[in-house]
Amino acid sequence: MYVAGLDIGSQSTCAVIWDGEKIRGVALRPSGVNPKQRAEEVLENALREARMSRSSLGKVVATGYGRYQVEADLRVSEITCQAKGVAFFFPQVRTVIDIGGQDSKVILVDPKTGKVLDFLMNDKCAAGTGRFLELMAEVLEIDPGEYGILAEKHQEDVTLSFTCAVFAESELIGLIAQGKTKADLAAAVCQAVAKQVVRMAERLNINPPLAITGGVAQNRGVLYFLEKEIGLKPLVPPEPLLTGALGACLST
Amino acid sequence: MHKKSAFLLQSISFLLERPTLFALLKPYLWWLQWKNPFPTLAQFSYRITLENVLTLYGRKKPVVWASLFFPAEFIYALDGAPFYPEITAGLFSALGVGAIPLFHAESHFFSADLCSYHRLSVGASMLRFFPRPDFLCATSGICRETVPFFQTLAELFGVPLYLVDIPHEFSPKTVRYVASQLRSIAQNLKRDRRVTWDFERPFELAQKTQTVLQEIEALRRKKEVMILPPTKNLDYLPYYYQFMGSETSLSFFQKLRDELRQNPKNPLPHRLLWLHLKPFYSNFLSALLTELGLGIAFEEFAATYSGELKPKEPFQGLAEKITVMSHALMDEKARIARILQWVSEYQTEGVIQFNQWGCRQSQGMNALLRKTLRGEGVPVLFLDGDHIDRRHHTEEQWRTRLQAFAEMLGG
Ligand code: SF4
């Protein structure tokens, strides 16, 4: 049976077509303001890549914050889906940190059964999420994709407040006025996100192996500081944005 | 503030402070009684609420404000009308009128970080929405915010405050210390307000109510029946506290017991224990729990006191009640031991605590609570939000956490 997994996140919407053994098609686009319509488009794109029609799908499983806005046969939380999606790539994984657009999650997984043992999600603040990186990129006048390259070049350690995105923004403006370099500030932003996530993850005890998913897993700067803070080299799935949608397929 | 709204608020307070106006409720109450001589639980609650409004705002008796763990039996014994601002804050929130007093308190320098039970109560008191007290009684348990909160109220209304200090540790010495404070409050009230005391009736009613509550608890322990919608029992809080020691509580719980016996509902797939209170403004949460199959077998604040209250030694008995009940919530070890006991007695698969914004009493223990429960193999979920102030809530965040929790239990 062919299954479509749809992950409708706050920032991006992904679709995966699964044939019971392997991935047949994938598609990914920013969620935009109409998640329902975007989910339809993404599903169509994934089906096109898989060379399939909608009628050949046995099931559609939705996850992500928009899972109740689309038509689906099953709706599963993003926590369960992330755990399942990551286990597909790394069956031994025991901790998953998913840093999404508007929230981050820490998930403890039982590698023997693949079941979620415990989880935590961040509170209502954008600090420690992809949105924080975007906001700070606007202040630094850089593309979020440049964080990694800039952070590698940093010379001085600058500490940024990481409890509130709005405070951090004004702090950043102050630091720019003091003449700090873009590289140092980009590194400071990445470090702030990493610290915020680690602070939450430590409440649950991080058991190795650890995997990182979500859009932020593609940010080399944040990964560098996460590794430094935790003292562990995290695993990153080949497509860290698709693990939720893949996990949705595997939840049937 | 806009002139029109200021005028409206002043008019409301003016009307609420006219006791004779509430006499208009009498014929309506009489009609209700005539129309429904055998009321359902909901009809009974509605009537009791109106009767209570008549007693408190109509100033039928001395109005005595108390903190949650100050026993109502003490107030009934002096023929007073107990009023619990923290409970009424929940009612205001449920009625959707919490925003006005919350906003009023905040615009008068009561920080938004202050627990919203107290913030709303201060705002409602400043606006004269709550019935004016004759005097106030409070204990220093279970949280450190209670004392300054009641001191503020005493200042606002210019009425005496009788405070009972509750030590953290529990021992016979502590009970004697609390009893001596109650005794001295009673003497002061006798001297200053010519109060006469009669403990016989409230104690008898409280004991009878306890017996009925034990029957309800026995029913709720049965695994095959889930007899109350999730968190519904927390709507009955006034009957556990404010009306304890009166006919009202006894009749209410007798009715509840009979309804539970006659109409057991189908069980939901999961049985859970609920810690602390809940967001009173939201019906969404209860509906969501039902949808996800998360039934609530028991709630921490529905815990009752099973000790004996003897009219011959009233202060000793009440002191024991206050100390036992406060200690069980204030002391980490005592609280966690009791939670584990309920997990086993009620055969619950997990525990949910709804964290109240700014509440140190409950959240200060979260680390140890989580560690101990996890160590015993009991899954635990902390939901963040506010019980009273709807500005701190996001339904979708609850949904994701609860759904993941349900999947974790079911998987
Ligand atoms: S919710 Fe917490 S802070 Fe608020 S009154 Fe109750 S114990 Fe105190």
Question: In Å, how far from its chain's centre is CA B98?
Answer: 17
User: What gap in Å lies between CA B337 and CA A95, rounded to an integer?
Assistant: 30
Per-residue pLDDT of chain A (252 residues; tens, 9 = 90+): 899 999 999 889 999 999 999 999 999 999 888 989 999 999 999 999 999 999 999 999 999 989 999 999 999 999 999 999 999 999 999 999 999 888 899 999 999 988 999 999 986 667 778 888 888 999 999 998 899 899 889 998 888 876 677 788 888 899 999 999 999 999 999 999 999 899 889 888 899 999 999 988 999 999 999 999 999 999 999 989 999 999 999 998
- A59 φ, ψ (degrees, to nearest 5): -150, 150
Q: Using CB atoms, which residue from B374, B396, B411 is nearest to A65?
A: B396
Q: Report CA-CA distances (Å) from A112 to A90, A93, A107, A118, B214.
A: 12, 10, 15, 15, 43
- Shortest alpha-carbon distance between residue A66 and chain B (Å): 9
Q: A123 touching B, CB under 8 A?
A: yes
d(CA B200, CA B314): 9
Q: What are the helix (H) ranges across A141-181? A: 147-152, 165-177
Of A68, A76, A123, the CB nearest to B407: A76
Alpha-carbon B387 to chain mean position: 12
Atom of ligand 1 nearest to the CA of B115: 4
Which residues of chain A does B393 touch, with a Cβ-Cβ cutoff of 8 Å?
A: none
Residues for chain B: how many in total? Answer: 411
CA atoms of B265 and B323, how far apart (whole Å): 36
Q: What is the ipTM of this complex?
A: 0.86
Best B355, B382, B407 residue to mutate vs chain A (most A CBs within 10 Å): B407
- Give the phi and the psi of residue A220 in degrees, each rounded to 5: -65, -30
Q: Are A131 and A147 in contact (CB under 8 A)?
A: no
- A77 closest CB neighbour out of B384, B394, B407: B407
CA–CA separation, A217 and A236 (whole Å): 7
CA B190 vs CA B81, B195, B196, B351, B400: distances in Å:
17, 4, 7, 46, 56
Cβ(A131)–Cβ(A219) under 8 Å?
no
- Which one-letter DSSP state was computed for residue A59? E
Geometric angle at alpha carbon B244, from B324 and B97, rounded to 5°: 105
Cα B195 to Cα B139: distance, rounded to the nearest angstrom: 20
The first and second tokens of residue B188, run together, are: 């002061």
Chain A residue numbers with beta carbons less than 8 Å from the beta carbon of B384 are 123-124
Tell whether omega for the bond before B101 is within 30 degrees of 0, i.e. cis.
no
Given a contact cutoff of 8 angstroms between Cβ atoms, the answer to whether B284 and B395 are in contact is yes
d(CA B317, CA B315): 5
- The number of C-beta contacts closer than 8 angstroms across A and B is 40
The residue in chain B having the minimum alpha-carbon distance to the alpha carbon of residue A81 is: B404
Phi, psi of B178 (to 5 degrees): -65, -40
| Contact criterion met (CB below 8 Å) for B212 and B250 | yes
Total residues belonging to chain A: 252
- Written as six digits, the tokens of A227 are 């590794």
Q: Do A79 and B397 touch (CB under 8 A)?
A: no
CB contacts, 8 Å: A77 with chain B: 400, 403-404, 407
Which among B379, B394, B407 has CB closest to A80?
A: B407
pLDDT tens track, chain B, 411 positions = 567 777 888 888 888 888 888 888 999 999 999 999 999 999 999 999 999 999 999 988 999 999 999 999 999 999 999 999 999 999 999 999 999 999 999 998 888 888 999 999 999 999 999 999 999 999 998 888 899 999 999 999 999 999 999 998 889 999 999 999 999 999 999 999 999 999 999 999 999 999 999 999 999 998 777 678 999 999 999 999 999 999 999 999 999 999 888 877 778 899 999 999 999 999 999 999 999 999 999 999 999 898 999 999 999 999 999 999 999 999 999 999 999 999 999 999 999 999 998 888 778 899 999 999 999 999 999 998 999 998 877 888 899 999 999 999 985
Cβ distance B380 to B353 under 8 Å?
yes
The residue type of B377 is G
- On whether the CB atoms of residues A8 and A66 are closer than 8 A, the answer is yes
Among B361, B365, B384, B388, residue to substitute to test ligand 1 (most atoms within 8 Å of Cβ): B361
B45: closest CA among B231, B253, B190? Answer: B253
Q: Which pLDDT does position B84 carry in this prediction?
A: 98
Residue A10 sits at the chain B interface (C-beta within 8 Å): no
- Taking the C-alpha atoms of residue A14 and residue A239, their distance in angstroms, rounded to an integer, is 11
**Tokens found for residue A106:** 């820490």
pTM of the model: 0.90
Which residue is closest in CA terms to ligand 1's atom 2?
A: B359
Distance CA B123, CA B270 (A): 39
Chain B residues touching A76 at Cβ < 8 A: 403, 407
Q: Which residue is listed with tokens 């999947």?
A: B407
3-state secondary structure B94-158: HCCCCHHHHHHHHCCCCCCCCCHHHHHHHHHHHCCCCCCCCEEEEECCCCCCHHHHHHHHHHHHC
Contact yes or no for B407 and A123 at CB 8 A: no
